[in-house]
Amino acid sequence: MNIVGWFEIYVDDIDKAKDFYQNVFKTELKPLHNPGIDATPGLEMWSFPQNFDSHGASGAICKMEGVNPGGMGTLVYFACEDCSVEEARIPAEGGKVVKPKLSIGEYGYISMCQDPAGNMIGLHSMK
């Protein structure tokens, strides 16, 4: 079992964040609703695709009153076939490449980037 079961990336502009993550990763985020979320004023969540029969963790971008984005707290790495592909999309979508693709030896390659809200994210691939 993978120890991480879920992640949340807090943003201040949910529409800008949706565009960024959908365009960089060529995926569709969906609104996340449940009694806890719907009963929390000022909380909006958009979920990344989920497959509970596969390995890895899914998560969501979130906008919540009183929670600010940015900083270097927890770093989420997104799995990619070749992280240079997603890395190349980052600047055009309003983000920043902080550390271009680099080898981490037998563990593949990583890139470190920022989304438009200043959240640091990682990209990981084996090629």
Domain spans in the chain, listed from the N-terminal domain onward: 6-125
User: Where residue 122 falls among pLDDT bands split at 50, 70, 90?
Assistant: very high
Whole-prediction pTM: 0.85
Q: Residue 1 has what pLDDT?
A: 62
49 C-beta neighbours (distance < 10 Å), count: 10
109 C-beta neighbours (distance < 10 Å), count: 19
106 C-beta neighbours (distance < 10 Å), count: 6
User: CATH: 2.120.10.30, 3.40.190.10, 3.30.420.250, 3.10.180.10. Which one for 6-125?
Assistant: 3.10.180.10
126 pLDDT above the threshold of 90: yes
Q: Residue 71 has what pLDDT?
A: 67
Q: Residue 37 has what pLDDT?
A: 81
For residue range 76-117, list pLDDT tens digits in order.
999 999 999 999 999 999 999 999 999 999 999 999 999 999
